[in-house]
Structure 1
Amino acid sequence: MQSWSSAFCVLILLITTLTTVSGAAPTEIKVKLNDSATLPCNDRCSGLVTWFQKSGIVVAQCNQTSCLSVKDGFEMFYDQYLKGNNSLIIPEADTSKISEYTCQCDLKTISAVQLHVDAVPSVKADLHGNATLYCSVDCSGLATWFRTRYPSDVVAQCDQTSCQSVKAGYQMIYAQYLKGNLSLYITDADFSMRGLYTCECDGTVIRDVEFSINALNSTLQIKSGESLVLDLEIPDPVEVLHDSTGADGFSSGQICTVNGRSVQCSDDYKQRVLFSPALEVKGMNLSHSGVYTIRDARTKEDIHVYTVTVRDDPDPPGEQKIVSSVLKLAGIVVGTAVITIVIWSVIVGICMKKTRLCGGCFKIDNVAGNEEDNQDAEKENILTPYQQ
């Protein structure tokens, strides 16, 4: 009777344990937007390990030969699977990945995980523009804004006596702080200010805000054979992409990656790219026309977009016509001026010559006339004896 009682207790314990495992609340995992997430599942499995979303969609799986990412954005690692670590890795968690996930070994549930992704509000500004990162709460103590990845990197703060701009370009306003408005004001925004910021009151996180800069846009026209110079703008690792509009669609896609002083380019560009510190692409031709994008390799944020047109003619047709017309007009004006000067020079020369000749004749005539008059006078004044 005692043995039966013991066996019954063991049976009840097993049933309770199995019920608890199968009906256990899922593990809660919380991550920030675009951060990586690890969903744990630890159990040696000699068969097929599968991760399901709550909807029943398979996202990743492993077996004794390999691992497979069934859905983009989800990963499992074979070497970890062999060690009994069946964790699911989400490199960049966004709101579309908020769900309950189940880890199974040969269709037997091992663990369940609920993933939460904090949707962080974002604020954008133009380069050298202004921006406001909002935060509102009654705070009687120290209100602080800092770069989320670096909690010691405080940029501005307020307390009951005053506000302080710890770093240039950031500001909090004391009158607003007293009213519960802890907003951070960014003036003269630049690319170094991009990132996630946290608003705190006495060490308690109030909210996070993502700040970014609107992509720069440039339109360039260059002659065939010239170089294209691309400013990278930021020191962070970047990707350089080309969306071709050329006739043969030359080398569309990623053409280079730049990380510090290291530049890696595709075969088509290896011999044509110089870095100093802008990226110079030599030997441009018509097929290289298109859109060149400088993109942050980590955040996938566009930094600078260049729309490039490569032309064969030395100058646009319109410019050629204008230059030709101007040269013709200038030739006509100069030619007319030269002819006018020559004609006036001849006329002036002739007049001057005539003036000298006429002046001499006038003088001679006057002298001759005077002599005749004197002779007549003498004749009149000298009388013969008979006349007297």
Structure 2
Amino acid sequence: MNIWIFNHYAIGPGSSGGTRHYDLAKQLIAKGHKVTIFASSYNHQTLHEEHLMDNKQLFVKKNYDGIEFIWIRTTPYHKNDINRVFNMISYSRRAYKIAKNIDQQPDIVIGSLVHPLAAYVGYLTSKKKKSTFYFEERDLWPQTLIDLGKVTARNPVIYGLASMEKFLYRKSKRIIVLFDKAVGYVTNKGIKKEKVLYLPNGIDLKRLDAVEELPSEVKQILEKNKDRVLAVYTGTHGLANNLDAILDSAKILKESKPSVHFLLVGNGPEKKRLIERKHKENISNLDFVDPLPKECIPALLSQCDIGLLPLKDSPVFKWGISPNKLFDYMGASLPVALLCNLDDTPVEKAGGGYVIKNNFSTELAKVLMTASKEDLHQLGQKARLYVEKEHNWALLSERLEKIMLADTKEMK
């Protein structure tokens, strides 16, 4: 099969961000298929141009492990303002123009939603190329925007996004969701259950064996705190990530439990404010680190004791969660402290950590006050066994391939 994936924020090796489609494509390539990923050359995590720095080209093609990436120049931005909207529009317009001029006919086109324009470009391309269209709804737009309090349900933008969501549901052959309970979200919209495919995020077990050198700054922090319980967060520093809860917990433990240290790795619109808060409130048992390439994450996590996953209390999470960092932690044999009022999570299913459902800061402090390195190690082993069975990309890709082959056979 020839598979095209439109994911605005996809990344390749040596970069920071979510590797969902890169990891999936590697598995499909190994099975004899061809995969092309259309992505922005401007990295959403680091907020820097990565592939088109020295020329005026609108796109460039690069091959990684047999996967073809088409990196598309997009409008730069540094926060959630009008320039980010222009970034989405520039990706969408250029991705479609580039795709329609490629002299190939893909069998399947996946339009992946972090914002709906990218998914819509996937649909337009599938129509132009007479291909089977899959709609991947990674975030439940527009419901996420409402539940996180970014806009009201009566906002005209919400009506437009809801209409686009229904349109993409109707036009797709399959709807891919990442959250286990999101199947119910889609069927509540009048869609048949058979059309919905649950395909969560996962881990590439081979990546965990490849340990990259860490930057000297990070190595110094790790060496300084090697005898302490090191609690780590990796990922976006945004409102939905509720990182103030970690700072609050660090303040509680600063004097009462100096053998615990916190490390926050990544970037995002809230990072500057959080750093200012650390200095203003003298939260000395916590360090911030810039985003690291995905290949460095296993080396980092191997020297930590527990992974932190705080989430803003929001109704949207009732449909489930599937953040990359959760499976990175568990794959690295780290237990997870999940701060969210949820039941039946991967952490609970694995017996691989703690689910804190209220009083996030004080309850996290209590956990870290009493947990020993040995206790955390034992929980981490359970976490690793669970993701090997349930979130291994080698197994997840087989599930997707089987459906794709059946759908393409049906179209012939």
TM-score normalised by L of structure 1: 0.21
Q: Which has the larger radius of gyration?
A: 1
In terms of fraction of residues, the more helix-rich structure is 2
**TM-score, structure 2 length as denominator?**
0.20
- The higher-RCO structure (CA 8 Å, 6+ apart) is 2
More strand per residue: 1 or 2?
Answer: 1
